């Protein structure tokens, strides 16, 4: 069922929980993630990477995810992730995305705010997330980074940035990275608390959650993080399932149906575990 992302996240935060957002490169992943959410009666977000959205088939995929979301028995949002190109943003919205991360994090804070405000001016009825303080790494590839590589958000810039940009959610850098963590991840909880203080009622977003300890994910909601983005963990598990099973199903007569079912079951299992962890023991 359709849900407004900001309202959904705010409701989960009141329960001390966060909503996971899973990157979907195809409808099979989306269906597997939604199956897990329906089993647990929990909301979920389907993410579309900017490179996927910009491809010739991108709008068709977004329309497909919109259909999957609307037919779900639980609240499901469709979000365009890390979008820097206005044309891609407009196309994704026209195809059915109900939220977009207008990513100006590579710009100076004032220019970032101007970009986000511009997106808000034409994204009628669409929830706009912003990022302040760059979260390093690659969204679509498993680049390995250490906590020392992580960009940080300056809490002193948060209040003015939100006032200028009109962002409805704020992704921040507190030691998190996209891809894989080299060594033990080390989130800066004191910095997160300062960012939360300056953000007021605007929910925070944590990108690069794959590989974070379960205890960190369980603590996210209580720390003001209402949305958590996941890509690497889900993608790695699905690729491993293909590698481990493709030879057997090829030998069994090129059984694509069984291979697809195995990969989908793997994705559902990963999504189920992360949905449960981020619920913090507080289901809807």
Which of 180-184, 185-189, 217-221, 240-244 holds the top average pLDDT?
Answer: 240-244
* Single pTM value for the model: 0.91
**Tokens 């997106």 -> residue:** 119
Q: Classify residue 228 as exposed, middle or buried by CB count within 10 Å of its CB (0-12, 13-18, 19+).
A: buried
Average pLDDT, integer, range 15-23: 96
Q: In three state form, how does the secondary structure of 222-266 look?
A: HHCEEEEEECHHHHHHHHHHHHHHHHHHHHCCCCHHHHHHHHHHH
Q: Give me 202's structure tokens.
A: 């605007």
- According to the model, what pLDDT value does residue 150 have? 53
Beta carbons within 10 angstroms of residue 247's beta carbon: 9
Is there a catalytic annotation at residue 81? Answer: yes
Q: What totals of helices (H) and strands (E) does the chain contain, helices first?
A: 11, 10
Predicted confidence (pLDDT) at residue 82 exceeds the cutoff of 80: yes
Average pLDDT, integer, range 49-61: 97
Distance CA 136, CA 145 (A): 8
- According to the model, what pLDDT value does residue 175 have? 81
* Residue 152's pLDDT band (cuts 50, 70, 90): confident
Cα-trace Rg, the chain: 18
* Residue 36's pLDDT band (cuts 50, 70, 90): very high
Element (H, E) at 201: none
Distance CA 123, CA 104 (A): 16
Element (H, E) at 144: strand 144-145
Burial code (b: 16+ CB inside 10 Å, e: under 16) for 44-57 equals bbbbbbbebbbeee
Distance CA 227, CA 207 (A): 8
Q: Give me 96's structure tokens.
A: 């059915």
Q: What are the structural domains of the chain?
A: 5-279 (3.20.20.70)
Element (H, E) at 80: strand 76-83
Catalytic residue among 81, 98, 140, 216: 81
| Residue 203 DSSP code | P
Q: Give me 203's structure tokens.
A: 């929910």
Please provide the distance, in angstroms rounded to a whole number, between the alpha carbons at the two ends of the chain: 14
């Amino acid at each position: 069922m359709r849900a407004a992302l900001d309202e959904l996240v705010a409701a989960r935060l009141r329960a001390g929980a966060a909503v996971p957002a899973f990157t979907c490169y195809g409808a099979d992943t989306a269906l597997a993630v939604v199956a897990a959410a329906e089993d647990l009666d929990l909301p979920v977000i389907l993410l579309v990477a900017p490179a996927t959205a910009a491809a010739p088939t991108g709008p068709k995929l977004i329309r497909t995810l919109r259909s999957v979301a609307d037919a779900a028995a639980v609240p499901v949002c469709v979000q365009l992730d890390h979008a820097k190109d206005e044309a891609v943003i407009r196309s994704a919205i026209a195809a059915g995305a109900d939220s977009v991360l207008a990513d100006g994090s590579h710009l100076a804070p004032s220019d970032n705010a101007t970009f986000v405000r511009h997106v808000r001016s034409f994204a009628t009825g669409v929830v706009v997330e912003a990022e302040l303080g760059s979260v390093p790494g690659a969204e679509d590839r498993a680049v390995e980074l250490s906590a020392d590589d992580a960009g940080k958000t300056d809490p002193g810039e948060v209040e003015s940035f939100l006032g200028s940009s009109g962002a409805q959610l704020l992704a921040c850098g507190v030691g998190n990275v996209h891809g894989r963590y080299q060594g033990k991840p080390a989130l800066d909880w004191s910095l997160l608390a300062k960012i939360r203080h300056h953000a007021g009622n605007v929910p925070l977003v944590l990108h690069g959650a794959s590989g974070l300890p379960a205890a960190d994910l369980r603590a996210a909601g209580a720390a003001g993080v209402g949305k958590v983005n996941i890509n690497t963990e889900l993608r790695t598990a699905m690729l491993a399932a293909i590698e481990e099973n493709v030879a057997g199903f090829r030998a069994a007569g090129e059984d694509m149906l069984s291979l697809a079912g195995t990969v989908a079951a793997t994705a559902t299992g990963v999504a189920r575990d992360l949905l449960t962890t981020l619920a913090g023991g507080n289901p809807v």
